[in-house]
Amino acid sequence: MAKILKIGIVGCGTIGPILAKAVEKKFSSKAKVVAVCDIEKAKARQLAKKLKSSPSVTPLKKLIGKSDLVIEAASAAISFDVVKKSIQAGKDVMIMSVGGLLGRPALNSMASKKNCRLYIPSGAICGLDGLKGASPAGIKQVTLTTRKPPMALDGAPYILKKRINLKSIKKETVVFSGSAKEATKAFPKNINVAAILSLAGIGAAKTRVRIIADPRMKRNVHQVDVEGGFGRLSTRTENVPSPGNPKTSYLAALSAIATLEGIVGSVKIGT
């Protein structure tokens, strides 16, 4: 019988529990959640209680020790630390808070030295398959245009610094235009997709990002435009929010489930 993949989940807010439940529902013959942790311990306990696998509620270090695969769904403030500690312990790791990995050199060599894998799901955008496939022929330009209802940007450092009054925005307004590197600092909670796109393509300094506040929007919409030796591609993704967290697109959690399916499954479809 194939070995059961032991999973530890860091962060038991929205994505963590969706993933944990998917493990029980879809992959129970191949994987199980053995440990969970959260800075708010009550959330970890609550999730543990709901799971048939009765995972331990442990601090990060113990969680890593118990797991074959560590899944981070907590915060960009800790995602690099989770990668580093997991890989040092010889464990594979999946990261959702991708913004925290930008500007961190040597992720690839860290993982390959220890023969570990770092998984980064596509999150709330489409088009990474084409971008990755097109890369060998050279990529000239990658642009992410994100449209959100104005209040979805509330509290972002850039909005506060520029004193932008989101409530006064009555029509489509470009509130930010710059590199993905700048965008991840300006909108750290909103812009994991820019980080994912950067890592898959031409890097955070060259990837362009535009953020548009649009009061007509009910959903977060991400448009990806890529140009290079292969030709051009454009994708548009209209996201519905996750049950439980309006700031997290449901597709982000679903894409992590698909990544997990790729890990435990035998057939890999797509780039």
Ligand X SMILES: NC(=O)c1ccc[n+]([C@@H]2O[C@H](COP(=O)([O-])OP(=O)(O)OC[C@H]3O[C@@H](n4cnc5c(N)ncnc54)[C@H](O)[C@@H]3O)[C@@H](O)[C@H]2O)c1
Instruction: Return the active site residues.
Output: 222
In the complex, what is the shortest distance from the CB of residue 87 to ligand X, in angstroms, rounded to a whole number?
Answer: 18
Nearer to ligand X, 143 or 173 (CB): 143
Taking Cα atoms as reference points, which of 161, 180, 269, 165 lies closest to residue 213?
165
In the complex, what is the shortest distance from the CB of residue 234 to ligand X, in angstroms, rounded to a whole number?
Answer: 19
Q: At what angle do helices 15-26 and 41-50 cross, to 10 degrees?
A: 20
- The answer for residues whose C-beta is within 8 angstroms of residue 83's C-beta and 6 or more apart is 72, 93, 95, 101, 104, 107, 110, 118
Nearer to ligand X, 30 or 62 (CB): 62
- Max Cα separation, the chain? 61
Facing residues of 93 across strands?
70, 118
Q: Which H or E element spans position 208?
A: strand 208-213
In the complex, what is the shortest distance from the CB of residue 38 to ligand X, in angstroms, rounded to a whole number?
Answer: 4
Nearer to ligand X, 228 or 237 (CB): 237
Q: Determine the 3-state secondary structure of 225 from DSSP.
A: strand
In the complex, what is the shortest distance from the CB of residue 48 to ligand X, in angstroms, rounded to a whole number?
Answer: 13
- The answer for residues whose C-beta is within 8 angstroms of residue 242's C-beta and 6 or more apart is 14, 15, 18, 248, 249, 250, 252, 253
Q: How far apart are CA 41 and CA 189, in angstroms?
A: 22
Nearer to ligand X, 221 or 228 (CB): 221
Q: Degrees (nearest 5) of the Cα angle 85, 69, 108?
A: 55
Specify the residue for token string 């998984």: 119
Nearer to ligand X, 197 or 213 (CB): 197
Cβ neighbours around 40 below 10 Å, total: 11
- Which residue is nearest to ligand X, using beta carbons? 13
Specify the residue for token string 């994991």: 192
Nearer to ligand X, 15 or 23 (CB): 15
> Which chain residues interact with ligand X by CB under 6 A?
10-16, 37-40, 43, 73-76, 78, 96-98, 123-124, 189, 192-193, 196, 245, 248-249, 252
In the complex, what is the shortest distance from the CB of residue 121 to ligand X, in angstroms, rounded to a whole number?
Answer: 6
**Do residues 6 and 32 lie in contact, with contact meaning Cβ atoms separated by under 8 Å?**
yes
In the complex, what is the shortest distance from the CB of residue 238 to ligand X, in angstroms, rounded to a whole number?
Answer: 15
